[in-house]
């Protein structure tokens, strides 16, 4: 027995093939609590408009409470014949209140304004949940930066040794990106903070319902300014898919580094046993599966975004059934991040950095050559020449198996008369790092300042 929400003008019921195609209840059932909250708000606004008597409202709310409890207990469930969550819950209400009262709730609302509102409610709740899981990750990275404040490492460009940096500076670079992801989530929420209730199917309602009071009732600060846009727009979903995909991409960049750092060749980090996996055949293996899954799942998050964008492209206004396809991609992005982030945070929080190894490699690959050039600039040499001279030092050292700091006074003078022995003062990792002391630089004072800023940022979230 089904309670289709349409049928008056049909002589035949839907074919089995159509029913199967049309059904969304297997994925939109998770919206049931939001649908019921929407129904309560709608019942109140019908009452306000004089379309439900006091006792009818009381019985309606009581029926919705019972329905909600039965849904939560699993004693009321949707069947395959229920097209979607809205139909299933209306059946539940009719079963509890009878058709005379139960049948009054649909006045002045459509599944089109319902789904557009519930989608926003669900995404806003989970956007906040993801924001808080993300804050845990930021916290873990800031904690690692703090615990390794004076550790130097090779900074890279093109994956080649470039200049030494503080490990904390490198870790905080990732925190900066995650802080922007968190900010994007908050900013997105501000735009999604609009209820579509009152838009009806597309044109609004003739029943004198107050969309603003429903909006407030459901935790929105505003109702839609245009009923066509309210029911037909899905940029709130697409933008959510972008914000979560961007977060996935940022996760994948840190993930890739952890994978590289964890190779025998790098040996920069040890993964905690609880956050790594073994091999079914090679007993010695300890694999960075969490980082690899983060890298892999970022592809899936991007797919959810592009799939949804493709669905929306060129859709005429107002509602089209294509829009039913908006839910699975964003639900999948939510489910993906809600399991990925806690595992990723655990992996980061328990990473052990191999300080000696990182510091041994920090000056390798002639990563102090820029320091020679900048020292010469401070002595008045034009940078073009200074760059040439520092390059000549590398050219001198490389075939002889020397490091820059091995050069004797005579060898320095032979390379260029401007290279006095004092240049050796900048040829240390710490000297190099300390010297980059403008705002945003890797000098310890600046990294400490940055750490404090990022901590403050985490407090206001």
Q: Which residues are catalytic?
A: 158, 279
Residue 385 CB coordination number (10 Å) = 14
Looking at residue 202, what DSSP letter applies?
T
User: Closer CB to ligand ARG, residue 200 or residue 363?
Assistant: 200
Shortest gap between Cβ of 78 and ligand ARG (angstroms)? 12
What DSSP string describes 281-328? S-TT--B-HHHHHHHHHHHHHHHHHHHHHHHHTTPPSS--GGGGGGHH
Residues 6+ apart with CB under 8 A from 458: 135, 138, 139, 142
User: Closer CB to ligand ARG, residue 240 or residue 319?
Assistant: 319
373 and 384 Cβ atoms separated by less than 8 Å: no
Shortest gap between Cβ of 323 and ligand ARG (angstroms)? 5
Positions in the binding site for ligand ARG (CB under 6 A): 24, 84, 111-112, 115, 319, 321, 323-324
442 and 433 Cβ atoms separated by less than 8 Å: yes
Residue 58 CB coordination number (10 Å) = 13
Instruction: Give 269's strand partners.
Output: 353
* Separation between Cα atoms, residue 210 and residue 109, nearest integer Å: 12
Tell which residue, 379, 372, 380, 390, has the closest CA to residue 431: 372
Angle, CA 114 vertex, CA 234 and CA 82 arms, to 5°: 110
Tell which residue, 250, 237, 149, 141, has the closest CA to residue 191: 237
Tell which residue, 198, 189, 237, has the closest CA to residue 38: 198
User: Closer CB to ligand ARG, residue 112 or residue 304?
Assistant: 112
User: Closer CB to ligand ARG, residue 183 or residue 328?
Assistant: 328
User: Closer CB to ligand ARG, residue 118 or residue 372?
Assistant: 118
Residue 236 CB coordination number (10 Å) = 22
User: Closer CB to ligand ARG, residue 116 or residue 433?
Assistant: 116
Shortest gap between Cβ of 210 and ligand ARG (angstroms)? 23
């Amino acid at each position: 027995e089904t309670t289709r929400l349409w049928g008056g003008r049909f002589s035949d019921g839907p074919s089995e093939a159509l029913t199967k195609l049309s059904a969304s209840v297997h994925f939109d059932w998770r919206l049931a609590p939001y649908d019921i909250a929407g129904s309560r708000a709608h019942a109140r606004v019908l009452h306000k408009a004089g379309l439900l008597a006091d006792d009818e409202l009381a019985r309606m709310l009581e029926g919705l409470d019972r329905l909600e409890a039965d849904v939560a207990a699993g004693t009321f469930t949707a069947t395959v014949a229920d097209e979607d969550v809205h139909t299933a819950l209306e059946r539940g209400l009719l079963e509890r209140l009878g058709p005379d009262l139960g049948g009054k709730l649909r006045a002045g609302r459509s599944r089109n304004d319902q789904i557009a509102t519930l989608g926003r409610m669900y995404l806003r709740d989970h956007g906040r949940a993801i924001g808080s899981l993300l804050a845990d990750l930021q916290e873990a990275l800031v904690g690692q930066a703090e615990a390794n404040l004076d550790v130097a490492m090779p900074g890279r460009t093109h994956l080649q040794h470039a200049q030494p940096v503080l490990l904390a500076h490198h870790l905080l670079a990732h925190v900066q990106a995650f802080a922007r992801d968190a900010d994007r989530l908050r900013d997105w929420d501000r735009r999604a903070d609009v209820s579509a209730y009152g838009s009806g199917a597309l044109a609004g309602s003739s029943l004198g319902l107050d969309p603003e009071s429903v909006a407030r009732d459901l935790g929105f600060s505003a109702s839609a300014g245009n009923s066509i846009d309210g029911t037909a727009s899905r940029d709130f979903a697409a933008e959510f898919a972008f914000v979560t995909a961007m977060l996935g991409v940022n996760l994948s960049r840190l993930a890739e580094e952890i994978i590289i750092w964890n190779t025998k060749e790098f040996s920069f980090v040890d993964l905690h046993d609880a956050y790594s996996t073994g091999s079914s055949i090679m007993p010695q293996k300890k694999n960075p599966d969490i980082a690899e899954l983060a890298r892999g799942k970022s592809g899936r998050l991007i797919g959810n975004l592009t799939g949804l964008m493709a669905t929306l492209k060129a859709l005429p206004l107002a509602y089209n059934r294509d829009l039913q396809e908006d839910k699975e991609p964003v639900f999948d992005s939510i489910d993906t991040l809600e399991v990925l982030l806690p595992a990723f945070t655990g992996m980061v929080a328990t990473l052990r950095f191999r300080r000696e190894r990182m510091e041994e490699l920090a000056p390798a690959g002639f990563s102090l050559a820029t320091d020679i050039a900048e020292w010469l600039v401070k002595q008045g040499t034009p940078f073009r020449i200074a760059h040439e001279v520092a390059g000549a030092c590398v050219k001198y050292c490389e075939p002889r198996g020397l490091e820059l700091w091995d050069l004797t006074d005579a060898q320095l003078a032979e390379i260029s008369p401007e290279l006095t022995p004092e240049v050796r003062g900048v040829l240390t990792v710490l000297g190099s790092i300390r010297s980059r002391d403008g705002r945003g630089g890797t000098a310890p004072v600046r990294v400490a300042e940055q750490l404090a800023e990022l901590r403050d940022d985490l407090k206001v979230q």
